[in-house]
Amino acid sequence: MRKLITIILAALLLITLIGFFKGGGDNEQEELISPVPTPTDIPKPDKHNPNQEYFTYKTDAIKELLGQFESPLVDKSDTFVICADENNISPYLLVGISKVESTFGKKACDGNPFGWSSCRNHFSTFESACQAVSKGIATLPYYEEYRGSGKTKDLGETYCPSSSGCNTEHWIDTVDSVVTDLEERELVFALNELATLTPQKKSAQELEINTEVLKSHAQKATGTTLEVIEILIRANERALQQTQHES
């Protein structure tokens, strides 16, 4: 059902884009005809300010999912994103691992909801556990194949090898399903803003700002959200070229 909703929402955006190319040519005025979106920088975590809110569409998606499962990690949604970003991996991957290893932290072993190092490592805080796992996946040599392919299968075969008695196939399927779920939730949260960044009936200045804002969002977006953003970037760039050609 969630996949169907995602497809429908994405289709609505595409319909809006089609409407531009059918009727956008009639707009020859250069005056601004709708509010200009203000580009904003992507927030960065401030290690010196532990109370800083670091919410993006990703943290909203994670918080929603963990809340539905009444996870004790629900208030750590921003930490998933921060430690993942610092190590250039997906926070959704970490959430997926926490599900298969500890039911989203409900069965964590000594502060280790990721089952890291077969639960031999104990952590005093969730932050230290998250950093250890993120850094390990990002740097340890035996995860090199995963870093090259980005496939959960390659990660799972090392993280949860069948030779250790682990159900590797179940591990991979569980992590993949969580990643897909969160990517779709991210899109739903993003759609309200993305709908304002279509090129329909926009001036050249608005189209330039649209493109700048979208490219900023693309740096952190994933999955279907990233695909929709890339479509909107191309649509705004084409519309800008058309507007400049007509002027």
CB 235, CB 223: distance < 8 Å:
no
Q: Residue 24: what pLDDT? A: 44
CB 159, CB 97: distance < 8 Å:
yes
pLDDT in tens, 183-226: 999 999 889 889 999 999 899 999 999 999 999 888 888 888 99
Give CA–CA dist 110/122, Å, rounded: 5
pLDDT in tens, 22-72: 444 444 433 333 344 444 444 444 444 433 333 478 999 999 999 999 999
pLDDT in tens, 152-184: 999 999 999 999 999 999 999 999 999 999 999
CB 198, CB 232: distance < 8 Å:
yes
Q: Work out the number of other CB atoms within 10 angstroms of the CB of residue 208.
A: 16
Q: Work out the number of other CB atoms within 10 angstroms of the CB of residue 198.
A: 21
Q: What percent of the chain has pLDDT over 70?
A: 78
